[in-house]
């Protein structure tokens, strides 16, 4: 195909796309107008039904909990995939004295970076747990909390201590945490079934005060498990990539 013909084909395609796009835009509801019934219904009934004032979490872990199980396992399988792809291959080798060489000549962090990150590690850990455990009360949840927790481990690395990072996140423990998180979520659903309820039905007492930390039954529990799983998945992915980058040499 000559350049000329190609250009024409491209122009025809882009014109068609633009026309369809404009057509679709004219059919959109007005800015800020929500046409569907579900959001309005949930805004009315969610707090009364679940005692969770974090309605977004109530939706994620209760009304569409089954979808969230699927999303959870997407992340779980992604982490499994990353660690499988990045495992030490037969023709790769860990740099001889890699660990010693790393501490001696590895990338040095400046004192400023080191002290700033060390200052941040504690507050970030607290923030992560806070977010993960308050899904039922305020805008937060296990996913956000889990990622913030993983960030705390990243800060340990940024403080210049890859070895400490590895010591704080041994692969076996991280793997187990991830498995407990993902399995725990699924198990909450099975526990409901064992009592003759639908999968993921909220079988725990909802508490009496809407928005109290102890309220909302399984929503808070699921958020906790999601937090574990997400934190472990991200720590695993980052540490596998770090190990590949810093310790594993090229092919012999």
Partner 1 sequence: MSYLASISQGAVHTPYTVPTPMMDALQVCLLVLVAAGATAVVLIRVPVRQVLALSLYGLLLAALFLAFQAPDVTLSELTVGAVILPVLVMLALAKVRAQGSGHPSGDKRERDP
Confirm or reject binding of residue 242 to partner 1 (CB under 8 A).
yes
Closer of 54 and 217 to partner 1 (Cβ): 54
Binding residue (CB under 8 A) for partner 1 from 69, 154, 174, 219: 154
Contact pattern from residue 175 through residue 204 relative to partner 1, giving x for each residue in contact according to CB under 8 A and a dash for the rest: ------------------------------
Q: CB of 171 within 8 A of CB of 236? A: yes
Strands (E), 79-209: none
- Kindly identify the residues of this chain, within the stretch 207-236, that bind partner 1 according to CB under 8 A: 234
Confirm or reject binding of residue 7 to partner 1 (CB under 8 A).
no
Half-sphere exposure (CA, 13 Å, Cβ side) for 230? 24
Q: CB of 155 within 8 A of CB of 199? A: no
* b/e 141-180 (16+ beta carbons within 10 angstroms → b): bbbbbbbbbbbbbbbbbbbbbbeebbebbeeeebeebbee
Separation of alpha carbons 10 and 209, rounded Å: 61
Binding residue (CB under 8 A) for partner 1 from 150, 152, 192, 206: 150
Give the containing element (helix H, strand E) for 243.
helix 218-246
**Is the alpha carbon torsion for 165, 167, 170, 173 positive or negative?**
negative
Closer of 59 and 206 to partner 1 (Cβ): 59
Confirm or reject binding of residue 244 to partner 1 (CB under 8 A).
yes
Binding residue (CB under 8 A) for partner 1 from 6, 44, 88, 167: 44
Q: Which two tokens stand for residue 132?
A: 């993960």
CB of 177 vs partner 1, minimal distance in Å: 17
Binding residue (CB under 8 A) for partner 1 from 118, 125, 147, 179: 147
Binding residue (CB under 8 A) for partner 1 from 7, 43, 103, 115: 43
CB of 190 vs partner 1, minimal distance in Å: 27
Q: CB of 137 within 8 A of CB of 54? A: yes
Q: Which two tokens stand for residue 201?
A: 């039905």
Please enumerate in sequence order all residues whose Cβ is within 8 A of that of 49, keeping only pairs 6 or more positions apart, or say none: 58
Separation of alpha carbons 145 and 224, rounded Å: 9
Contact pattern from residue 105 through residue 144 relative to partner 1, giving x for each residue in contact according to CB under 8 A and a dash for the rest: --------------------------x-------xxx-xx
- Binding residues (CB under 8 A) for partner 1: these are 34, 37, 40-41, 43-44, 56-57, 131, 139-141, 143-144, 147-148, 150-151, 154, 234, 237-238, 241-242, 244-245, 250
């Amino acid at each position: 195909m000559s350049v000329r013909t190609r250009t024409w084909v491209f122009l025809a395609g882009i014109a068609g796309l633009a026309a369809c796009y404009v057509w679709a835009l004219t059919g959109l509801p007005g800015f800020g107008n929500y046409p569907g019934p579900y959001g309005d219904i949930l805004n009315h009934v969610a707090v009364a039904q679940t005692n969770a004032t974090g309605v977004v979490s109530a939706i994620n872990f209760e009304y569409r909990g089954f979808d969230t199980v699927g999303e959870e396992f997407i992340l779980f399988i992604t982490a499994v995939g990353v660690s499988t792809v990045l495992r030490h291959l037969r023709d790769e080798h860990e740099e001889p004295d890699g660990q010693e060489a790393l501490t001696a000549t590895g990338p040095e962090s400046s004192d400023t970076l080191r002290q700033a990150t060390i200052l941040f590690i504690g507050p970030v850990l607290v923030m992560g747990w806070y977010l993960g455990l308050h899904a039922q009360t305020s805008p937060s949840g296990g996913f956000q909390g889990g990622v913030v927790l993983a960030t705390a481990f990243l800060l340990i690395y940024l403080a210049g201590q890859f070895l400490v990072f590895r010591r704080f996140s041994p692969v076996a423990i991280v793997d187990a945490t991830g498995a407990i998180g993902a399995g725990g979520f699924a198990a909450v659903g099975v526990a409901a079934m064992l009592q003759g309820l639908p999968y993921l039905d909220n079988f725990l007492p909802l508490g009496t005060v809407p928005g109290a930390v102890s309220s909302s039954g399984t929503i808070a529990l699921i958020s906790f498990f999601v937090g574990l799983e997400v934190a472990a998945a991200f720590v695993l992915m980052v540490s596998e990539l770090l190990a590949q980058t810093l310790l594993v040499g090229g092919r012999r």
